[in-house]
Chain A
Amino acid sequence: MNKIEICQFELHHPNRRKDRIAILRCGINVENPKVIMDTAVFKYVVNELYNDFIEIHLDNPWIRVIIKGINELYYQPYMPSVFNNVEMVEHELINTKGTVAIFRGGLDSEKPIAYMNAVVSEYVGQRGYNEFVEIHLDNPWVRVVFTEINSLKYEPFKNQTINGSI
């Protein structure tokens, strides 16, 4: 699997906007996955504003998560009795038992990386998961967490765009 594949799904907004998450991935045998994925993201987002996430361990240049409208999602407090000012929005992934959750918080912590690690750890429990952080690695206050990401249904990436139909 050397070509690029994409999986997109819409996010639920309180104001019924149709923003979305897309997962782009390419085969592990490509020679320059970062360049290939940069180009794919560039083509996908066209002129739209977006946020770009990479796997937190920095060892997987073959996959990217693109989110449009991340600030407008319907965030709710996450375990307020345990965590101070952490918000989360969670979506079930269609046709899988998995979820995608976006967390933001740790603003009052002197150690936001450790704080948000604890939040994610609490959320996933014993489940397997994939965790993503903003590509510039300057924002420890936001995490994107997938469970069952490998059971998503991908399609070939041709000319899909962030504003196109799904």
Chain B
Amino acid sequence: MEAYSNPHLASAIIWWLNYISSVGREYIIAESTLKIPATEYLERFYRDQIQLEYNHPKLSQKRFDLYFNDLTNSCETAFEFKFVREDSTRALAERKRIFYDLMRLHLFNAPDKKGFFLICGNRLHFKSSFQNLNLSPKLPLPSSKPSVSGIIKSGFFGEWFSFDTNNPDRNIDLNNNENEYKQVYSAFMKKYSEPFNVATNNSLVKQNAITTKLIFISEELIDSRIPQTFSIGIWEVIL
């Protein structure tokens, strides 16, 4: 039996989503249903070690979407899932929730603990409402200069996530004073100080930076004749 791998997990989820979409059952697709293909894949390796809605060890009343204990490698693993919908991540509340996911994973991190953020959605929504999300209207339209290789662009979430497999790490400066980020970081401290204190009896110390690492991002298959409705990405929040 081949070993567990995040690309295989992503592949299992994305093709399950494509299957569900192909048979016309898109109405069941949501953040919570991602646990179905994820656990089906994980059962091959960790059947008795998987827990959903796992209590965060350092945050009272906060839970991870999915947790499993890799006894072979002595590593506990937590996942946060997100399903991006049309315009959903444009709202400040949802952008905060994504950052809270990253910080929950960061606070979980230890040499024997790993945290991953997994996001997927319809290809168009994944691009326009996540990968390339632009919060400021682009009018008048900036025109392109000729470039046969195209341009790699990223929007708001480019500050938190790399989409470039050749440069996968993204160091997030939590002292960034740009208002659109500052308000998110301030909100985290306000919302999570008490849960941290209750669970650990310590004060939550403001971090200067956290780092994410691109683990997997689905290929666009733009030249393929195989219909692919969904895109997926996995990032690890690293120590």
Contacts and interface: CB of A to CB of B under 8 A. Distances in A.
A85 B131 CA distance: 27
A70 to B, nearest CB: 6
Interface of A: 31-35, 38-39, 41-42, 45-52, 56-59, 61, 70-71, 104, 106-107, 110-114, 133-142
Interface stretch (B1-9, B133-141, B171-179): B133-141
A6 B20 CA distance: 38
B37 interface: no
Given A137-B132, A141-B138, A56 B124 contact: yes
A33 B133 contact: no
A33 B225 CA distance: 11
Given A32-B223, A111-B86, A136-B132, 10 more contacts: A47-B145, A51-B141, A51-B144, A58-B222, A70-B143, A71-B140, A138-B155, A139-B141, A140-B87, A140-B128
B124 A57 contact: yes
Given A34-B222, A47-B146, A71-B141, A138 B128 contact: yes
Contacts of B145: 47, 49
Q: Which of A35, A46, A47, A138 has the most CB of B within 10 A?
A: A138
A136 B148 contact: no
Nearest to B88: A111
A125 B29 CA distance: 29
Main secondary structure of the interface of B (DSSP, over half): loop
A50 B144 contact: yes
Nearest to B123: A58
Contacts of B90: 110-112
Interface of B: 86-87, 90-91, 123-125, 127-129, 131-134, 137-141, 143-151, 153, 155, 222-223, 227
Contacts, number: 95
A138 B132 contact: yes
Given A34-B222, A138-B153, A49 B91 contact: no
Nearest to A102: B141
B17 to A, nearest CB: 15
Contacts of B134: 138-139
Q: Which of B91, B128, B150, B155 has the most CB of A within 10 A?
A: B128
B146 A42 contact: yes
24 contacts: A33-B223, A34-B223, A45-B146, A49-B145, A50-B143, A50-B146, A56-B124, A58-B123, A58-B124, A58-B127, A71-B143, A107-B139, A111-B86, A111-B87, A112-B90, A113-B128, A114-B87, A134-B141, A136-B151, A136-B153, A138-B133, A138-B153, A141-B139, A142-B138
B150 to A, nearest CB: 6
B131 to A, nearest CB: 8
The 8 closest A-B pairs by CB, nearest first: A49-B143, A138-B132, A71-B140, A111-B87, A137-B127, A42-B148, A138-B134, A107-B137
Nearest to A109: B87
A142 B223 contact: no
Nearest to A45: B146
Contacts of B155: 138
A94 to B, nearest CB: 25
Q: Which of B91, B123, B137 has the most CB of A within 10 A?
A: B137
Nearest to B231: A58
A106 B86 CA distance: 14
Contacts of A113: 86-87, 125, 128-129
Contacts of B147: 42
B133 to A, nearest CB: 7
